[in-house]
Amino acid sequence: MSLSRPYRVALNGYGRIGRCVLRALHERRGRGGLEVVALNDLADLASLEYLTRFDSTHGRFPGQVHQVDGGLSIDGRCLTVMRSATPEGVDWASLELDLVMECSGAWHTRADGERFLAAGAPRVLFSQPMASESDVDATVVYGINQHHLSGSERLVSNASCTTNCAVPLLRLLDAAFGIEYASITTIHSAMNDQPVIDAYHHEDLRRTRSAFQSVIPVSTGLARGIERLLPELAGRIQAKAVRVPTVNVSCLDITLQTARDTDAREVNRVLCEAAAGGPLQGLLAYTELPHASCDFNHDPHSAIVDASQTRVSGPRLVNLLAWFDNEWGFANRMLDVANHFLGIATTKNEHA
């Protein structure tokens, strides 16, 4: 970090990801290098305070949360709270920010991002992959390509939770065995874009169905997202996704046709070694224990390889399972990317 003060960050959208970002930073206890100074959401202050304090998935907030003068106090530090549905409804410039983290999911295009910049946000980090690659200056999967950032970008995407899980694994396995083709199924916990019981949805008939009564196939941009990060695999990946009736933690079921013969022991050895050291340490984990998904609630890794589920059929058809906390792992990557991005951006400005 190049500034003597923490980087000043605002959250636009304070739902599952926005709240996890704030809390993950709090749980890093000063090791974050960032300070959330403001948030903007459509909800009233009492609800924002309440859902910060009490979280059905991650438990009670480990600190003091109060309403103060129309804002939110977290362990005595005051956050400005705003309630605007549009980027220009907030005077971002007056907050003297280094970054807005866009966590509402309401904005998808470069034109949307530019509305934040025009309203005084110096840079925006999106908590989702954008509609097309040209909608941002860079899409980052931490551990893979953050070093490609130059510091001059203003609109950056943190990709998706599934991309953050898949890309490190695919890059490792491609380097070790060569990937000829891959087919990936995301088995994802329910999200707030699904109703609790059947209700109308204007775009997607499947999303009219109760999240807690069915396994529901949904569309996914995972294959496209992987190809943005690993263009050498373009045209060789297919993906599908199902939502399942759990509240958090998801997994990827990955099937690969490899270019050379291998076996489950060798595949697991490659993944185990990558988790133990090197650039993916702290991002990739490896376990041989008999787990269920809830064991990974509040786990900050991008991917946890479940070695007990690795299968190799014939010498070249590899199948593996990797867990990820779709909320907590991704929120931690938002912080990692923000820190890295702001580090080089502010160094660049100082030397300009």
Strands 124-126 and 155-157: parallel
Cβ at position 20, least distance to ligand NAP in Å = 8
Size (the chain), residues: 352
Strands 303-306 and 138-139: unpaired
Shorter beta-carbon distance to ligand NAP: residue 33 or 329: 329
Q: How many angstroms separate the CA atoms of 154 and 110, rounded?
A: 11
Cβ at position 225, least distance to ligand NAP in Å = 11
H helix runs in 127-263, sequence order: 161-177, 222-229
Shorter beta-carbon distance to ligand NAP: residue 22 or 230: 22
Quick one: DSSP state of residue 36? E
Cβ at position 160, least distance to ligand NAP in Å = 6
Residue 132: count of CB within 10 angstroms of its CB: 12
Active-site hit among 20, 78, 103, 161: 161
Strands 250-258 and 317-324: antiparallel
Exposure string (b/e) for 308-340, b if CB count within 10 Å is 16 or more?
eebebeeebebbbbbbbbbbbbbbbbbbbbbbb
Shorter beta-carbon distance to ligand NAP: residue 32 or 87: 87
Please say whether the beta carbons of 260 and 180 come within 8 A: no
Shorter beta-carbon distance to ligand NAP: residue 39 or 173: 39
Cβ at position 98, least distance to ligand NAP in Å = 20
Binding positions for ligand NAP, rule: CB under 6 A: 12-17, 40-43, 85, 103-106, 127-128, 160-161, 191-192, 326-327, 330
Q: How many angstroms separate the CA atoms of 341 and 117, rounded?
A: 16
Shorter beta-carbon distance to ligand NAP: residue 41 or 306: 41
Please say whether the beta carbons of 210 and 196 come within 8 A: yes
Shorter beta-carbon distance to ligand NAP: residue 258 or 326: 326
Shorter beta-carbon distance to ligand NAP: residue 41 or 174: 41
Cβ at position 112, least distance to ligand NAP in Å = 10
Residue type, 322: A
Q: Is 165 a catalytic residue?
A: no
Closest alpha carbon to 218 in 243, 191, 194, 238: 243
308-316 contact pairs (CB < 8 A, 24+): 310/264, 310/267, 310/268, 311/264, 312/262, 312/263, 312/264, 312/267, 315/261, 315/262, 315/263, 316/180, 316/257, 316/258, 316/259, 316/260, 316/261, 316/262
Cβ at position 235, least distance to ligand NAP in Å = 25
- As annotated, the active-site residues are 161
